Amino acid sequence: MFLAPAVALYVIFLIVPVVQAVRYSTYDWNGLGALSDFVGLDNYREAFGDPAFRQAMEHNGILVALSLVFQLPLALGVALLLNRRMRGRGLLRVVFFAPYVLSEAITAVIFLQLLQPDGLVDEILRGMGLGALVQLWLADLGLVFYTLFVVITWKYIGFAIILFLAGLQGVPDELHEAAAMDGASSWQSLRLVTLPLLGPTIRIWAFLTIIGSIQLFDIVWIMTLGGPAGASSTMATYMVDQGVNSYRIGYATSVAVILFAVCFVFSILYQVFVLRRDVRGGTTRMAG
């Protein structure tokens, strides 16, 4: 009864179209004619055989790793900083979350301007006497993906910060006070009290970030179209390139299904090995 509306909305507008998409993925179809050329799993075979697609998958993998390694400590640090009693704290929260509020399209437009040769970034580096560091940020095949990672971090870090802040609200001050009375330093208090209690939030953030990294599309598409020569491609840009530009709808949906399968396997594993702990954690946390 409580579930009915959500299930209805969800099934009609999400599950049904997605199941349809899976059906399309077994056809060779350009989106125009009748759905008649059944090819079974050929589309999948082709995708895994295409070096361009494997390269795109590899990029998604690198992105997942980079996000976890760099964004987690950064966001956690900022959230802890903002959770302290200090002047201008409210303002800082707003500032750090601002990029998340901006659309992907706007973010891409901004950074295209900033990163163009002799643009603001280059000028600032030169102004600081670091002219030697100036690079072809988006044209260098070895660099472009890392440039995009920085932009992505700029855009999405605010979401992590807000999530962590909300999580930190759940850590009662009394615990810190108690820890301080026991002679714990701030660092100890952080390691022994805050981080464990923040665990569920961090795990949810990691889950969302990994899924987001696997699905990354808009910013890359607008800034580089996945180029040059596929150097910044992701599975999603590869999919759209095949679907929208080459009109290979059947093949593109098979890529989409692979994308889904990757996310699916990952999320099952994550549910089993990581999130399961939170079921217990949720009740013990209350006892504290």
Partner 1 sequence: MSRAQSRAGSTAPFANVPVYVVALLLTVIVLVPIGFVVLGGFRTTGQIAADPVGLPDPWVRHNYVSVLTSSAFWRQLGNSMIVAAIATGLVVSVSAMAAYPLSRMQFRGREALFVFFTFGLLFPVAVAALPLYLLLRQLGLLESLLGVALPEAAFAIPITIIILRPFMRAIPAELEDAAAMDGCGRFGFFLLVLVPLSQPALVTVTILSVITSWNNFILPLLVLTDPSKWTLPLGVAQYSSEHSADTAAILAFTTLSMVPALLFFLAAQRRIVGGLSGAVKG
Partner 2 sequence: MTIWKLLGLAALITAAATALLTTTTASAGGKEQSQTLVWWHNVTQGPGVKLYKDIAAEFQKQHPGITIKAVPLQNEQFKTKIPIALQSDSPPDVFQSWGGGGLVDQQKAGKVADLTKYVKPWIKSIGGTAAGWQVNGKQYAVPYSVGVVGFWYNKQLFKQAGIASAPKTWPQFLAAVAKLKQAGITPIAIGSKDEWPDAFYWDYLATKLCSKPVMQSSAVTYNFGNPCWTRAGEYVQRLLDAGPFQNGFLATPAQQGASSSAGLVANGKAAMELQGHWNPGVMQALTPENKVPSFLGWFPFPNVPGSKAIPGSLLGGGDGYACSWKAPQPACAQFLAYIDSPSVQRRVGSTGFGLPVRRGTENSVKDPNLRTVLKFRSTSPFIQLYLDQAYSAEIGQALNGAIAKQFAGKATPAQVVAEIQSAAKRK
**Residue 273 is inside which H or E element, if any?**
none
- Interaction of residue 280 with partner 1, rule CB under 8 A: no
Cβ contact 39:26 at 8 Å: yes
Exposure string for 131-165, b = 16+ CB within 10 A, e = fewer: eeeebebbbeeeebbebbbebbbbbbbbbbbbbbb
Cα 215 from Cα 270, distance rounded (Å)? 17
List beta partners, residue 8: none
Contact region with partner 2 (CB under 8 A), list: 17-25, 125-133, 181-189, 222-230: 222-230
Cα 173 from Cα 219, distance rounded (Å)? 40
Cα 155 from Cα 211, distance rounded (Å)? 16
- Interaction of residue 204 with partner 1, rule CB under 8 A: yes
- Interaction of residue 132 with partner 2, rule CB under 8 A: no
Which residue's CB is nearer to partner 1, number 65 or number 95? 95
- Interaction of residue 239 with partner 1, rule CB under 8 A: yes
- Interaction of residue 134 with partner 1, rule CB under 8 A: no
Q: What 3-state DSSP class applies to 248?
A: coil
Cα 40 from Cα 34, distance rounded (Å)? 16
Residues 144-173 that bind partner 2 (CB under 8 A): 144
- Interaction of residue 199 with partner 1, rule CB under 8 A: no
Closest CA to 157 of 226, 95, 84: 95
Q: How far is the CB of 56 from partner 2 (least distance, A)?
A: 13
Cα 161 from Cα 180, distance rounded (Å)? 25
Q: Determine which residue in the list 61, 113, 131, 277 makes contact with partner 1, applying CB under 8 A.
A: 113
Q: What 3-state DSSP class applies to 27?
A: strand
Which residue's CB is nearer to partner 2, number 185 or number 245? 245
Q: Determine which residue in the list 168, 225, 262, 274 makes contact with partner 2, applying CB under 8 A.
A: 225
Contact region with partner 2 (CB under 8 A), list: 9-17, 25-33, 92-100, 170-178: 25-33
Contact region with partner 1 (CB under 8 A), list: 39-47, 52-60, 128-136, 279-287: 279-287
> Would you tell me which residues interact with partner 2 (CB under 8 A)?
30-34, 46, 52, 113, 116-117, 119, 136-139, 141, 144, 224-225, 227-231, 241, 244-249
